[in-house]
């Protein structure tokens, strides 16, 4: 195949853009006084914004990040697209039926925003807890965005994708990465920096989202950081619901940003969007392998990269 790069046009470029968009990749708008991330436009024209999304995808996949789509990048894009389709839609992640296990995967709703999804899959007990969070946010006039939940067993591991993530066992969800840390005066979420690599996430609430909502009182949130202003941030006042506290009430906890993020590293290390349900995990006892076996058969796990991490123990070498 011929290479796709800046200046390329046509249906193959459009296909690349659509796959990147579906996978949640955005573009950098570098023409603003303060550059911002924005939704990728699918127009069949390979420009600098498409190149920036390709580079981020290549970096995540461990490919040579040159912004050029050759055979290796195209193959990785197609595989990632197929896996994400299964993560969002399939009853099981390989399309097969298996004997009933301890838990099952359940599809739950989310609120479409930007290039985010309107659904995700979680383990059924975690889904029950998620739906309580979702309902409370809706009642307050907020939205719950999504970049996905369950992770395919064949997903590649990278610097920003742990080999033993709770995403693999249906216990974690990601809010849409473009719904916060862009413009705290408009974003659905603001991330208030409360300590090193630690953020309190608040949902912006409005009658525009739900005319029948009971809005929380207006409040001033300090140190709302962005992908560019990662330390000091700014103060923002609006109707806000404390999502971090609400999630904690239902077993979901955030994780810290990657060490590199606050030192100027990739935006993908922010991790403000990640919440994981830790209910029932016992420090020093629960293992990753036990959790995998609750939703997958031995046949599905055989040879899968996450199964190699099965002996990791919660809060010892698995977090």
Taking only the tens place, the pLDDT of each residue in 266-293 is: 888 999 999 999 999 999 999 999 999 9
The answer to whether 268 and 255 are in contact (CB under 8 A) is: no
What is the mean pLDDT of the segment spanning 248-277?
Answer: 94
What's the rounded Cα separation, in Å, for the pair 61 and 246?
33
pLDDT band at 88; cut points 50, 70, 90: confident
Identify the pLDDT of residue 151.
92
Model pLDDT for residues 12-36, shown as the tens digit of each residue: 999 999 999 988 888 877 666 666 7
If you compute the radius of gyration of the chain from its CA atoms, what whole number of angstroms results?
20
Q: Structural domain boundaries of the chain?
A: 11-86, 90-309
Pick the CATH number of 11-86 from 1.10.167.10, 1.10.101.10, 3.40.50.2300, 3.40.50.720: 1.10.101.10
* Predicted confidence (pLDDT) at residue 222 exceeds the cutoff of 90: yes
**Comparing 20-29, 180-189, 232-241, 248-257, which segment has the lowest mean pLDDT?**
20-29
* Predicted confidence (pLDDT) at residue 249 exceeds the cutoff of 80: yes
Find the angle CA(99)-CA(103)-CA(108) to the nearest 5 degrees: 115
What is the mean pLDDT of the segment spanning 125-149?
Answer: 97
Is 194 exposed, middle or buried, given 0-12, 13-18 or 19+ CB atoms closer than 10 A? exposed
Q: What's the whole-number average pLDDT of the chain?
A: 91
pLDDT band at 99; cut points 50, 70, 90: very low
Q: How far apart are the first and last CA of the chain?
A: 42
What's the rounded Cα separation, in Å, for the pair 102 and 25?
34
What's the rounded Cα separation, in Å, for the pair 36 and 106?
34
Which pTM does this prediction carry?
A: 0.85
Can you tell me which residue has the tokens 């979420």?
189
What's the rounded Cα separation, in Å, for the pair 127 and 141?
21
């Amino acid at each position: 195949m011929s290479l796709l790069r800046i200046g390329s046009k046509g249906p193959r470029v459009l296909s690349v853009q659509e796959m990147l968009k579906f996978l949640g990749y955005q573009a950098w708008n570098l023409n603003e006084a303060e550059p911002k991330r924005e939704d990728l436009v699918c127009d069949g024209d390979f420009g600098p914004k498409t190149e920036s999304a390709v580079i981020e995808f290549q970096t995540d996949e461990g490919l040579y990040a040159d912004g050029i789509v050759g055979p290796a990048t195209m193959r990785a894009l197609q595989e990632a697209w197929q896996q994400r389709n299964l993560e969002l839609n399939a009853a099981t992640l390989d399309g097969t039926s298996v004997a009933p296990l301890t838990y099952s995967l359940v599809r739950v709703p989310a609120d479409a925003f930007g290039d985010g999804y309107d659904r995700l899959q979680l383990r059924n007990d975690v889904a029950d807890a998620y739906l309580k969070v979702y309902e409370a946010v809706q009642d307050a006039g907020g939205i719950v965005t999504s970049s996905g939940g369950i992770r395919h067993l064949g997903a590649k591991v990278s610097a920003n994708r742990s080999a033993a993530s709770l995403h693999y066992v249906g216990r974690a969800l990601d809010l849409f990465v473009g719904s916060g840390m862009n413009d705290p005066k408009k974003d659905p979420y603001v991330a208030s920096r409360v300590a090193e690599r630690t953020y309190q996430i608040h949902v912006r609430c409005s009658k525009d989202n739900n005319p029948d909502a009971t809005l929380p009182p207006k409040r001033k949130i300090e140190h709302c950081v962005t992908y560019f202003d990662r330390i000091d941030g700014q103060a923002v006042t609006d109707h806000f619901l404390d999502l971090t506290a609400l999630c904690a009430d239902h077993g979901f906890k955030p994780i810290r940003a990657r060490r590199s993020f606050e030192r100027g590293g990739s935006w993908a290390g922010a991790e403000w969007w990640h919440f994981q349900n830790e209910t029932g995990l016992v420090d020093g006892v629960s293992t990753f392998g036990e959790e995998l076996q609750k939703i997958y058969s031995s046949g599905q796990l055989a040879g899968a990269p996450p199964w190699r991490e099965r002996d990791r123990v919660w809060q010892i070498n698995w977090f």
